[in-house]
Amino acid sequence: VNGKVEIPVVFNVLYRTTAENISLSQLQSQIDVLNKDFNAANSDYNTANNPYSSVRANVGISFVLDQVIRKSTTKSSWGTRDAMKKTKQGGLDPTSPTTKLNFWVCTIGGGILGYAQFPGGSSATDGVVCDSKYVGVTSNSGSSYPYNLGRTATHEVGHWMNLRHIWGDATCGSDLVADTPVHNTANYGVPPVGHRSTCTGTPLEMYMNYMDYTDDRGMYMFSLGQKSRMDAIFVSGGARYSFGQ
């Protein structure tokens, strides 16, 4: 991106319990994680023994907390069919979705941490959904561990900026990015240094990439190829050009 892209973020918080009505400082901690992860300012960016350090990227996109909208509800889980994005279904319609990134913070259910809409979809449902439990940074001894470092939002914003899962959602599939290696499938936990794919060429897997399913403490980079793919949506003709102005 040539001009600096700074994305205003609207948090739509839907809560039944007080725990779901997460605090402003918790939301701000999520903004801080996004700013670090997208600007190569995360403390684990320089983790030793990263075989992919030469393709690590400073994406150079920043985020600013624009507003927080809170709504009390009686729903205990919202699922993955966008009900939380619709005032008529008890949720909250997005605010200015062509110029602001809307987050819905609620209990999703079914073990889902978050989900996002790719560029090019309807603006009425555009944005990122993140389960209340996994927004922002919480303690390593709490119940959100190992997804307690705000990386669910980093991963989902990656999708919102057109990134695919690193394994291409298929065995040895493609993520349409040249500098990320082919993976057998998703990685969970924190794989050992030297972990290889059994796909063609048996490359070292880039399990430290935000677009894998590794634990929050095990993911710490986007690649240069992923950065180009994200940059492309903010230029003239790109699906999120309206955010780059």
Active site residues: 156
**146: preceding bond cis by omega (within 30 degrees):** yes
Residues near Ca ion (CB under 5 A): 175, 177, 180
Query: Quick one: what does residue 156 bind among Ca ion, ligand ARG, none, with the CB cut-off 5 to 8 Å set by partner type?
Result: ligand ARG
| Beta carbon nearer to ligand ARG, 181 or 218 | 218
Query: Quick one: what does residue 155 bind among ligand ARG, Ca ion, none, with the CB cut-off 5 to 8 Å set by partner type?
Result: ligand ARG
43 HSE (CA, 13 A, CB side): 5
Kindly report the backbone phi and psi dihedral angles of residue 33, in degrees, each rounded to the nearest multiple of 5, phi listed first: -60, -45
Residue 113 near ligand ARG by CB under 6 A:
yes
DSSP category for residue 66: E
Residue 118 near ligand ARG by CB under 6 A:
no
Query: Quick one: what does residue 20 bind among Ca ion, ligand ARG, none, with the CB cut-off 5 to 8 Å set by partner type?
Result: none
Rounded Cα distance between 79 and 112, Å, is 9
Q: What minimum distance in Å lies between the beta carbon of 81 and ligand ARG?
A: 15
Q: What minimum distance in Å lies between the beta carbon of 118 and ligand ARG?
A: 11
Q: Is residue 232 within 8 Å of residue 176, measured between CB atoms?
A: no
Q: Is residue 183 within 8 Å of residue 155, measured between CB atoms?
A: no
> In the set 91, 94, 97, 114, which binds ligand ARG (CB under 6 A)?
114
Q: Is residue 135 within 8 Å of residue 21, measured between CB atoms?
A: no
Name the residue among 59, 99, 115 with its Cα closest to residue 230: 59
Query: Quick one: what does residue 152 bind among Ca ion, ligand ARG, none, with the CB cut-off 5 to 8 Å set by partner type?
Result: ligand ARG
> Residues binding ligand ARG: what is the number (CB under 6 A)?
13
3-state secondary structure of 95: coil
Residue 209 near ligand ARG by CB under 6 A:
no
**Residue numbers of the site for ligand ARG (CB under 6 A)?**
113-115, 147, 151-152, 155-156, 213-216, 219
